[in-house]
Amino acid sequence: MVRAEIQLFLENAPGQLGRLADLLAAEGINIDAMTIQDASAYVRELFKARGKSLKRIAPAASYGSMQKDSADYALIRLLVNHTDKAIDLLSKKGYLFDIMPVVALEIENKPGTLSEMARKFGEEGINIQYVYGSAVPDQNRSLFVFSPEDIDAAAKIFKEKE
């Protein structure tokens, strides 16, 4: 249901993901779900939001430089089995990260199930900011992670179903 997603920036270079995975594994922390994207897309969306609703906190030149530099980093979103332990470890190792609440749903692995979940968000007027998930072929269950604009309202929808 509602879980804490770790969002961290990682240098976009060979071997960096392996180092992160080794670090977590050495402490017995399993990655339950993960997605990786070029951080420049994240930074562009952040700038778009700042332009609409938030005042700038730095000169325009700084934003341009930050956007250029962001291509050197990847934005990794992950769910782990021991979030507090992972947060402590990442802090000690100097990683730049944030924690965001998300809705993680284990759903049936069959046609139409994701459609049903997405339709429920829409019926309640809840926008989905992003979603990621995966299923293993020929398995009965899959895990999907939703980042809704209204986490409390989304949690209520799926709590009723449990």
User: Does 12 share its domain with 82?
Assistant: yes
Q: What is the CATH number of the domain that holds 90?
A: 3.30.2130.10
Both tokens of residue 38? 């070029």
Q: Residue 27 and residue 31: Cα distance in Å, rounded?
A: 12
* Tens digits of pLDDT across the chain (162 residues): 899 999 998 888 899 999 999 999 999 999 999 999 877 766 656 555 555 444 444 455 554 555 555 567 888 999 999 999 999 999 999 998 999 999 999 999 999 999 999 999 999 999 999 999 988 888 899 999 999 999 999 999 887 554
User: Does 75 share its domain with 119?
Assistant: no
User: Does 127 share its domain with 64?
Assistant: no
Residue 56: per-residue pLDDT: 45
- Please count the structural domains in the chain: 2
Domain boundary among 49, 81, 99: 99
Residue 55: per-residue pLDDT: 46
User: Does 54 share its domain with 112?
Assistant: no
User: Does 7 share its domain with 38?
Assistant: yes
Cα torsion 47, 51, 56, 59: sign: positive
Task: Characterise 121 by phi-psi region: left (phi > 0), alpha (psi -120 to 50), beta (else).
Answer: alpha
Q: In what order do the strands lie in the sheet with 2-11?
A: 31-38, 73-80, 2-11, 96-108, 141-148, 128-135
